Structure 1
Amino acid sequence: MRFLRRSLVGIFLLSLTFALLVLAGRTVVDAVEARLSAEPRAFPQRERVLAVNVLPYETEAVTPRLEVFGELRSQRTLDLRASVGGTIVAMAEEFAEGGHVAAGELLLRIDPVEAEAALARAEADRQDAQAELRDARRALVLAEDELAAAEQQATLREQALARQQDLSTRGVGTAAAVEEAELAVSSARGAVLTNRQGVAQAEARIDLAETTLARTEIGVEEAERRLADTELTAPFDGTLAGVAVLEGGRVTENELVAQLVDPERLEVSFRVSTAQYARLLDAEGRLRGAPVTVSLDVAGVDLTTTGTISRESASVAEGQSGRLLFARLDDAPGFRPGDFVTVSIEEPLLRDVARLPSTALGSDGALLVVGEGERLELVAVELLRRQGDDVLVRGDDLAGALVVSQRSPLLGAGIRVDPIQPGATDVPDEEVARAAAAAPPPTVRLEPDRRARLVAFVTESRMPDEAKTRLLSELEQEDVPTEIVDRLESRMGS
């Protein structure tokens, strides 16, 4: 009897277990079918709106400035060299590195002993030549006197011959007397010829003496110039550089002792590209005398001066490109030859151009402009100049348009943006600020399903517990702030 009772109880428990299993399986199947047949969960998608900084496109007349680097140089730089060799016996106090000297000032003197001796010898030779010239002139006078006496003697002999011939014709004289008279005339004529030759020799002696005197005069002048070359003077006002000698030192002929630089007549040399050079030409193709501004940054203090482009190099050096230009400076206090400076050149005036930040222009040469519906549009423009961090562009039908001042890879055509202009975020006045603070934030009344989705999203999120508690308390209110709802739904849809 006990066995039968236990058997029935076991059968009953087994049946009950089987029924529970069937019920559980049916429940699972119904839940799966309900899940599969339910509509998919969908969240509203919102378009992302990006805030961008914009600037109005405003045209104006701009004078572009071309900035290059250049080097200062002096228009008058002279190498001072020793004209003669020798020992330096005297030197001016200003003859030192950086010393300022005036025109005509004696800089140094080389030992003049040899030059003075050479001058004395030349003057002695000149005195000898002068004495020889005086002696030759006296000899000429004597030769001319002797010639006159010989001619007079010859005339008397001819007269005596005429008398003897007359006597012989009348039969009074003899033939021997006539022959003797003829011989005397011939001898007198020979004496005249000899004296003429003496006069010619005296004249030749004078010519030779005059030539010798001229040669000695040249020697004296050379000796005087040689003596003058022992003194080195400043040819113009300037500053000394590269002084390489000291008093008591010895120099050779043509040795470089220093450089004389005129610091008042400065110019700057700078190189520009061929395209930049073309913009500096006038209508006739000649280089304009464009004004330039030269600046030198010295320990945070800028030295600035002005000038004018004066000339250009005749050719392009090997291995170089562009053009080498020179500008004459007006007044350049504080500048020195060799300074590395910044040169700013005024280019011709450009009209109807807009100055924008360089970040507003893309690599494709286009601007992003805010169009209808606050969506971005690509507009191609012409790049005219780059001015530091700005660009000068020219476009069609862009007057008053809002241009994105800072482009990024996130921005492109068709994207909706929230344009922010400079000054738009200025703090309002006190009354407006108090009114804005007193005005309650906008709210929205949620439907049960929408509220349940938001509560579930907050509960399942990984945000801090304090934030969860605060948001859940806000969602339990009848009217929930619109800002909170929009922020949560944007995260749900992302």
Structure 2
Amino acid sequence: MRFLRRSLTGVFLLAVTLAVLVWAGSLINGAVQAKLGQEPRSFPQRERVLAVNVATLTPQVITPEMTAFGELLSRRRLDLRSATGGTVQEVSDALIEGGTVTQGQLLLRIDPTDAQAALSRVRADLQDADAELRDAQRALILAQDELTAAEAQSTLRDQALTRAQDLATRGVGTAAAVETAEFTASSAQAAVLTRRQALASAQARIDQATTALARQQINLSEAERDLADTEIYAPFDGQLSNVTVSLGGRVTANELFAQLVDPTQLEVSFRVSTSQYTRLLDARGQLVSAPLQVALDVAGLDLTAAGQITRESAAVASGQTGRLLFADLDSAVGFRAGDFVTVRIDEPALENVALVPATAVAADETVLLIGDDNRLSVGQVDLLRRQGDDVIVAPGAYAGQVIVAERSPLLGAGIKVDPIAPAGAAPVAAAAPEMVKLDPERRARLVTFVTEGRMPDEVKARILGQLEQEEIPAETVARLESRMGS
């Protein structure tokens, strides 16, 4: 009996289980057939609106700033060299690396013994030449006196010859007397010629003595200069660098022992490209004296100095490009020659241009304009300059319009956006929302959905207040219908 009762119970449970499975299958089949028989539901699609940062193409006068890098140089820089060689006998205390000297200060003295001995020898030779000149002058005076005496004696011999000839004519004198007188007169004339030659020799001796004296005077000047060159003085105020000499050391002629630099007379040399160079030319093609600033970042502290462009290099060096420019600095406190600095040059001002972020302009020099309905359109501008993270453009016909400040691949013509004005700027006027009129059935369906929906009371009150109006924002209607799925 127990076995039979248990068997019947198992059969009953199996039958119930089968019945339940059949009933569940029937329900699933009915649901599937009902689902397949329904029309597909359609949900209203909302337009995607992207939030973008905006900027305004405001025409203004902008002075572009050109950036370059250069090196500071000193306009007064001198290599100090020893004119003569020898042992360093005296050295100034300021003749050290970085020492400050003043104009006319003695830097070093080389042992002057050899130069003083040479000067003494030249002075002795000069005395000999002077004595020779005086002796030649005295010999010239004697030669002139001897010539005068010979000429007087020749005159007397000529007179004697004339008397002898007169006596012979009257028959008183003899021919032998006349011949003797003629011989004597000829000898006197020969003596005059000899004295003239002696006078010429005396004059030539004077010329030679004068020339010798001049040579000795030149030698004296050279010896005095050589002696003076043993002492080296500072030609101008400045600081010393690359000092290689010390007391007791030995230097050779023309040896470089230090450099003198004037730290107050600084200029900057910098190289710009050819296109940048053309921006610094006036209408006549001459380089303008554009103002500039140089900056040196020293441990977070910027040293700055103002200056002005003065000149350009005459030629382009081999292997170089662009142009090398030079500018004088007005005041360069803290700077030193050799500093590598940043140079910012003020270019000629540009009128009717706008300054916008570089991310607002595409590679083809186009911008995205924001229309009245916050939809984008493409506009063409002229890119004039790049200023760091910004660019200077000529807006043309788009002056005063609002553009997208940061472009992205998601943005393009026809897309609707939500403008976000930059901090501190006037907000961009939003377009008026699109309004629609609802038929009573549609309005009642929306009111029922809002009333039965799980929303905060204040949100329900605000939406119901909008639904009671004659015209309702289309965005509100689309949002509600997308939620209720009708």
TM-score (norm 2): 0.82
Note the 1:239-388 alignment, pairs <5 A. Answer: 239-388=239-388
2:144 maps to 1:153: no
| 1:466 corresponding residue in structure 2 | none
Distance 1:63 1:174, change over 3 A: same
Whole-Å separation in 1 of the counterparts to 2:231 and 2:98: 21
Matching residue of 2:205? 205
Say whether the 8 Å CA contact 1:168–1:174 is kept in structure 2: yes
State the match for 1:105 in structure 2: 105
Counterpart Cα distance in 1 of 2:13 and 2:143: 184
Higher alpha-carbon deviation: 176-185 or 73-82 = 176-185
Report how far residue 105 of structure 1 moved.
Answer: 2.1
Say which is worse superposed, 23-32 or 243-252, in terms of deviation: 23-32
> Does residue 230 of the first structure (1) align with residue 244 of the second (2)?
no
Whether the 8 Å CA contact 1:133–1:210 is kept in 2: the answer is: yes
Give 1:492 deviation, angstroms.
Answer: 11
Contact 2:43 / 2:482 at 8 angstroms: preserved in 1?
A: no
Report the CA distance between 1:267 and its aligned residue. 1.1
One-letter identity of the residue aligned with 1:36: L
Aligned letter for 2:105?
Answer: E
One-letter amino acid of the counterpart of residue 187, structure 1: S
Name the SS of the counterpart of 1:397 in structure 2. Answer: helix
1:407 aligned to 2:407?
yes
SS at structure 2 position matched to 1:131: helix
- Structure 1 distance, partners of 2:77, 2:20, is 116
Q: 1:32 to 1:228 in 2, by over 3 A?
A: same
1:238 Cα deviation after fit: 2.0
Q: Unaligned 5+ residue runs, structure 1?
A: 1-11, 427-443, 452-472
Secondary structure of 1:415's aligned partner: coil
The amino acid that maps onto 2:449 is E
CA-CA distance at 1:52 after TM superposition: 1.6
Residue deviations 1:55-97 (CA, integer Å, cap 9, x gap): 2332211111112111111112111111111111112222222
The Cα shift of 1:449 comes to: 13
Aligned counterpart, 1:389: 389
Q: Quick one: structure 1 residues 15 and 303, their matched pair in 2 at CA, closer, same or farther if it must change by over 3 Å?
A: closer
Q: Percent identity?
A: 60
CA contact (8 A) 1:445 1:478 kept: no
1:107-122 correspondence runs (5 A): 107-122=107-122
Aligned to 1:194: 194
Matched residue type, 1:346: D
Q: Is 2:34 aligned against 1:34?
A: yes
Structure 1 residue identity aligned to 2:121: R
Instruction: State whether structure 2 residue 449 is matched by structure 1 residue 447.
Output: yes
SS at match of 1:152: helix
Root mean square deviation of aligned Cα: 3.5
Relative to structure 1, the CA distance from residue 491 to residue 331 in structure 2 (aligned partners, 3 Å threshold; closer, same or farther) is farther
| Aligned-residue offset at 1:230 | 1.4
Contact 1:446 1:478 in 2 (8 A): no
Provide the secondary structure at the position in 2 that maps to 1:259: strand
Task: State how many pairs are aligned.
Answer: 447
Note closer, same or farther for the CA distance 1:374–1:484 as it changes in structure 2 (3 Å cut): closer
- Asked if 2 retains the 8 angstrom alpha-carbon contact of 1:85 and 1:253, the reply is yes
8 Å CA contact 1:65–1:387 kept in 2: the answer is: yes
Whether contact under 8 Å (2:59, 2:400) holds in the other structure is no
Matched, 1:143 2:143: yes
Task: Give distance in 2, aligned partners of 1:346 and 1:118.
Answer: 62
Q: How far 1:280 moved relative to its partner? A: 0.8
- In structure 1, the residue corresponding to 2:306 is in which secondary structure? strand
Change (3 A) 1:218 1:17: closer
Q: 1:173-188 alignment to 2 at 5 Å?
A: 173-188=173-188
- The residue type paired with residue 67 of structure 1 is T
Give the conservation status (yes or no) of the 8 Å contact 1:64–1:385: yes
Q: 2:311 is matched by which residue type in structure 1?
A: R
| Mapped partners of 2:98, 2:458: distance in 1 | 88
Change (3 A) 1:302 1:20: closer
Provide the residue aligned with 2:124 in structure 1: 124
Counterpart position of 1:95: 95
The residue type paired with residue 307 of structure 1 is G
**Alpha-carbon spacing, 1:166–1:402, altered in 2? closer, same or farther (3 Å):** closer
Report the CA distance between 1:450 and its aligned residue: 9.7
**1:174-219 CA distance string (max 9 Å, x none):** 3333332222222222222222211111111111111111111111
1:445–1:480 CA contact under 8 A, matched in 2: no
Question: Quick one: which amino acid aligns to residue 232 of structure 1?
Answer: I
Give the deviation of 1:322 after TM superposition.
1.3
8 Å CA contact retained: 2:450, 2:460: no
Listed one character per residue, the Cα deviations across residues 218-269 of structure 1 (whole Å, up to 9, x for unaligned) are 1111111111111212222222222121121111111111112122221111
Letter matched to residue 81 of structure 1: R
Q: Aligned to 1:209, what secondary structure does the other structure show? A: helix
Please give the alpha-carbon distance, in whole angstroms, between the structure 2 residues aligned to 1:304 and 1:14: 99
| Residues in 2 aligned to 1:416 and 1:203: alpha-carbon distance in whole angstroms | 115
For 1:363, give the aligned amino acid: A
* Structure 1 CA distance for aligned equivalents of residues 41 and 330 of structure 2: 81
Measured at CA, do residues 478 and 250 of structure 1 come closer, stay the same or move farther in structure 2, by a change above 3 Å?
Answer: closer
1:19 shift after superposition:
8.8
CA apart distance, 1:424: 8.2
1:106 and 1:232 in contact (8 A); partners too: yes
Q: Distance in 1 between matches of 2:94 and 2:38?
A: 106
Q: Secondary structure at the match of 2:398?
A: coil
Quick one: which amino acid aligns to residue 126 of structure 1? L
1:380-425 Cα shifts (integer Å, max 9, x gaps): 2111111122211122333432222222222222222111213489
Q: Find the residue that maps to 2:118 and give its secondary structure.
A: helix
CA positional deviation for 1:332: 1.7
Contact 1:446-1:479 at 8 Å conserved across structures: no
Greater alpha carbon shift after TM alignment, 195-204 vs 46-55: 46-55
What letter matches 1:224 in structure 2? E
Cα distance, 1:104–1:492 mapped onto 2, change above 3 Å: farther
CA distance in 1, matches of 2:13, 2:234: 133
TM-score where L is the length of structure 1: 0.81
- In 2, the alpha carbon distance for the partners of 1:490 and 1:297 equals 60
Using the TM superposition, name which of 370-379 and 28-37 deviates more. 28-37
Counterpart Cα distance in 2 of 1:150 and 1:80: 67
User: Which residue of structure 1 aligns with residue 469 of structure 2?
Assistant: none
